[in-house]
A and B are shown apart, each in its own frame.
Chain A
Amino acid sequence: DQQVKQNSPSLSVQEGRISILNCDYTNSMFDYFLWYKKYPAEGPTFLISISSIKDKNEDGRFTVFLNKSAKHLSLHIVPSQPGDSAVYFCAGVYNNNDMRFGAGTRLTVKP
C-alpha cells in the first residue's frame, strides 16, 4: 500500500533554521491530509491538517502546503527547535475517516 510516500527517512536541521518535510500521494480520493509527530514509546500526536480544497494552512511555527496538481504536500517548521526532534508522519484521509500513513521522516534538530 503505497498511497502515501515519504521518501526521506531522515532529515537533520540546525536549531533556528527551517525544517521542510515532504510527502507525496497517489490516491486522488484523499480529501484531507494530516501531519502527526511521534516520539519514541508514544503514539502519534496530531500536529496540523489541511483540507484538499486549500493550499496552505498555518498554525504557529507549523505550515502545511498542498499542491494538488503535483499530489505533493510539505510541512514547514520555522524556526526549528530541538524539541521538534521526532518522527513525522504524513497521512491522507478519504471517506472521512479512512486514513493512510506514510512511512515517516525522522527529524533531528541540532542545538
Chain B
Amino acid sequence: EPEVTQTPSHQVTQMGQEVILRCVPISNHLYFYWYRQILGQKVEFLVSFYNNEISEKSEIFDDQFSVERPDGSNFTLKIRSTKLEDSAMYFCASSESFQPQHFGDGTRLSIL
C-alpha cells in the first residue's frame, strides 16, 4: 500500500538554525498537510497546500514557517531561526481528495 514517507526520522538542531523537514506524499495525491505534536499534547494542524499554494494555515504557522513543493514528489516544511518550543513531532499528510488524510510516521525535531 502506498505510504507517505518522511525524512529524517529524527532531526537535532541548534536553536536559531534553520531546519527543513522533508516529505514524499502518496504519488496521486493532490492535497498536502503538515501537523505537529508537542510531547504530551494533541496533534495540531499547521498548514494545508493545494495547487502549489497554501490553502489554509493555523495561527501556529507564522512567518517562521514556510512550505514548498520543489519538484513533483517532495513537500517540505522549513522552519527558520528555530526556537526551543519548536521541538515536536512533525507529521506530513496527503490526500487524494479532501478526506481521508494519510499520515507519515513523523520527524522528531529536537532543538537544543
| A49–B103 touching, CB < 8 Å | no
Q: Name the interface residues of A1-57: CB closer than 8 Å to any CB of B.
A: 1, 32, 34, 36, 41-46, 49
Chain A residues near B93 (CB, 8 Å)?
Answer: 43
Residue in A43, A97, A100, A103 whose CB lies within 8 Å of B99: A97
**B70-109, CB under 8 A of A: which get 1 and which 0?**
0000000000000000000001010100111111111000
A interface residues, tally (CB under 8 Å): 23
Chain A residues near B45 (CB, 8 Å)?
Answer: 98-101
B81 to chain A: closest CB distance in Å?
A: 24
| B99–A49 touching, CB < 8 Å | yes
How far, in angstroms, from A95 to B58 measured CA to CA in the complex?
A: 13
B54 to chain A: closest CB distance in Å?
A: 12
Residue in A45, A95, A98, A102 whose CB lies within 8 Å of B42: A102
| B33–A43 touching, CB < 8 Å | no
Interface size class of B (residues with CB under 8 A): 20 to 34
| B42–A103 touching, CB < 8 Å | yes
| A44–B56 touching, CB < 8 Å | no
Q: A43-B91, A49-B99 are in contact. Are A97 and B44 (CB under 8 A)?
A: no
Chain A residues near B99 (CB, 8 Å)?
Answer: 32, 34, 49, 93, 96-97
Task: Give the interface centre of B50, B102, B103 by most chain A CB atoms within 10 Å.
Answer: B103
Chain B residues near A88 (CB, 8 Å)?
Answer: none
Binding site for B on A (CB under 8 A): 1, 32, 34, 36, 41-46, 49, 89, 93, 95-104
Question: Can you list 17 contacts pairing A with B, beta carbon distance less than 8 Å?
Answer: A32-B99, A41-B105, A43-B6, A43-B93, A43-B106, A44-B43, A44-B103, A45-B103, A89-B43, A97-B31, A97-B56, A97-B95, A99-B33, A99-B101, A101-B35, A101-B42, A101-B44
7 tightest A-B contacts by CB? A43-B103, A96-B98, A46-B100, A101-B43, A103-B42, A43-B105, A44-B103
A-B contact sample (13 more), CB < 8 A, given A42-B106, A43-B4, A46-B101? A34-B99, A42-B105, A43-B91, A43-B103, A49-B99, A49-B100, A89-B42, A96-B99, A97-B48, A98-B56, A99-B33, A99-B101, A103-B41
